[in-house]
Amino acid sequence: MTESTVKITSFDVFPNGTAKPAALLRYMQQVAREDCDKNGCTYAFMRSLNTVFVLTRLGLDLLRPIRSGETLTIRTYNNRITGIIFDREYDLFVGDEEVGHASTFWVLIRYDTRALVRPAEFPVDFYSHEIDCKTVEIPRRFGNEDAAPAGERIVRVSDLDENNHLNNCVYADIALDALPDFNGLDETVLGFRIAFSNEARLGDALSLSAKRQDGALAGVAAFNQNTQKPCFDSLWRVEKV
């Protein structure tokens, strides 16, 4: 279990001063890396074994907006392993106030072939905390089957990470850029779910579709034109500020 504290900066918020989902995901990604490092599972070590973690699903719920200038504490822990799925949980605090929780689900793959690796095949035991904590439910379907076309996004060099694919955090920016009528002024995001179907690589063209659903919900999905496979699906809780 690892904690990290960050101050929300002016470039990590919308024009209304509330934290962007992509910024929160970057903070979460870094503290997860630190937690793995602390347990002897550094990225360099994993790459030496031709293995990496990839994210399959994530969900985050905020109890209130997180704002520019606030100091955010993020606690993360590998909570349990079920079959091939690693469940990593996150607790978010501002001071002593709990402001959110996130659930993320990962798998191990071979870096070169992208083939799945079972946890039992990995030479390091992953400690599971097995905490009876809050979890974020992620539905199987997000209701975006009839979403309207919302443009195209080409994967750029600046989108890539060490796994040589579109970084997890960038998906949030892509989705919100496609969301109808969202401008970061009168609304903010207080929750989201993302399911990753197939990775996107440099030069891939993502065809986006989006819709406003009932109440505060909105959805964005992407289809990869290069691979002819679904890329991601997502659901967003967008509320007035």
Q: Residues 137-167: pLDDT tens digits?
A: 898 889 898 999 999 999 999 999 999 999 9
Q: Distance (Å, rounded) from C-alpha 150 to C-alpha 172?
A: 15
- Residues in a beta bridge with 194: 58, 234
Q: Give the tens place of pLDDT for each residue, 82-99.
A: 999 999 999 999 999 999
Residue 228 structure tokens? 């002819």
The per-residue pLDDT for 41 is 86
Q: Which domains does the chain have, with CATH numbers?
A: 1-138 (3.10.129.10), 139-241 (3.10.129.10)
Residue 152 structure tokens? 């195209």
Q: Distance (Å, rounded) from C-alpha 115 to C-alpha 124?
A: 19
Q: Distance (Å, rounded) from C-alpha 192 to C-alpha 26?
A: 15
Q: Distance (Å, rounded) from C-alpha 93 to C-alpha 101?
A: 9
Cβ atoms of 198 and 228 within 8 Å: the answer is: no
CA dihedral 137, 85, 80, 191 (to 10 degrees): -30
pTM for this one? 0.91
Low-confidence ranges of the chain (pLDDT < 70): none
- Give the N- to C-terminal CA distance of the chain in Å, as an integer: 33
Q: Distance (Å, rounded) from C-alpha 76 to C-alpha 103?
A: 10
The per-residue pLDDT for 87 is 94
Per DSSP, 203 falls in state: T
Residue 221 structure tokens? 């999905």
